[in-house]
Amino acid sequence: MELEIKSTADGSKTLFAPDLNEHYHSTFGAVQESMHVFISAGLNEINKPQIRVFEMGFGTGLNALLTCINSSQFSSIEYHSIELFPLDIEIALKMGYCSFLKLSNEKKEIYNKILTCPWDSHTEVTPYFKLKKIKGSISEYSLTGQYDLVYYDAFAPSVQPELWTGDIFRKIYESMNEGGIMVTYCAKGDVRRAMQHCGFIVERLPGPPGKIHMLRAIKKK
């Protein structure tokens, strides 16, 4: 799939897929969106010392990087991310996230390790952050959980409607611990209702710049 690197409004970069007419991140700010949706509304709401995270859509590895460098409150994070079409490492590095975030050499090495570690195996990125990148489809992959936090970062329902169905959300619900949180940038009514039908308590939150709302779903205790 042909990809183009595009600048977004906050100065960070994203990818554009002409074949899908879709960006990987918000054009109003790639890093800004990830921080708002996944870190502020998701990671920062978890009150456990050790957590397990599942990410739908590894993409450029931005969410994994932001999670690792914003997780000092946790003693251990096990992070699983699934991606059917992994990007070439060279493309991800051209995004320039390390420079944009003004990362130290130590944290630059974290991103490099996130990108270069092998797929379908466990890697200790840092002593407290362990990563497993899964090459495959969430429709076919068996989630073994139990997850405390889910980042749902698939392409939009208009592009990949099969990834926003009740069957998918039910699979995720069953893989989560009670009280677990799922966050996504998408706030469509049919997506919210599909989550609710599976048992999630769903709330609409203020979205990142460029979006009115986002969704946060909680598995009932």
Report yes or no: 171 and 138 within 8 Å, Cβ to Cβ: yes
Flag whether pLDDT at 185 surpasses 90.
Answer: yes
Structure-token pair, residue 80: 């699983």
pLDDT at 86: 97
Confidence tier at 221 by pLDDT (50, 70, 90): confident
pLDDT at 85: 94
- In the chain, the amino acid numbered 60 is T
pLDDT at 8: 98
pLDDT tens, residue by residue, 34-92: 999 999 999 999 999 999 999 999 999 999 999 999 999 999 999 999 999 999 999 99
User: Which secondary-structure segment (H or E) carries 180?
Assistant: strand 176-184
pLDDT tens, residue by residue, 12-40: 999 999 999 999 999 999 999 999 999 99
Q: Which residues pair with 150 in a beta bridge?
A: 54, 182
pLDDT tens, residue by residue, 125-177: 999 999 999 999 999 999 987 999 999 999 999 999 999 999 999 999 999 99
Mapped onto helix, strand or coil, the DSSP state of residue 107 is: helix
pLDDT at 171: 97
> Angle 24-197-176 (CA atoms, 0-180°, nearest 5)?
65
pLDDT at 187: 97
pLDDT at 118: 98
pLDDT at 156: 96
Structure-token pair, residue 115: 């990108």
Burial bucket for residue 13 (CB in 10 Å: 0-12, 13-18, 19+): buried
Q: Is the pTM of this model over 0.95?
A: yes
User: Which secondary-structure segment (H or E) carries 100?
Assistant: helix 97-100
Report yes or no: 55 and 153 within 8 Å, Cβ to Cβ: yes
Number of residues that make up the chain: 221
Distance CA 57, CA 84 (A): 8
Backbone CA torsion sign across 203, 84, 78, 34: negative
> Which residue shows structure tokens 């009740």?
166
pLDDT at 144: 81
Mapped onto helix, strand or coil, the DSSP state of residue 65 is: helix
pLDDT at 213: 98
Distance CA 135, CA 148 (A): 21
pLDDT tens, residue by residue, 190-219: 999 999 999 999 999 999 999 999 999 999
- In the chain, the amino acid numbered 32 is Q
Domains parsed from the chain with CATH numbers: 29-219 (3.40.50.150)
Confidence tier at 1 by pLDDT (50, 70, 90): confident
End-to-end CA separation in angstroms for the chain: 42
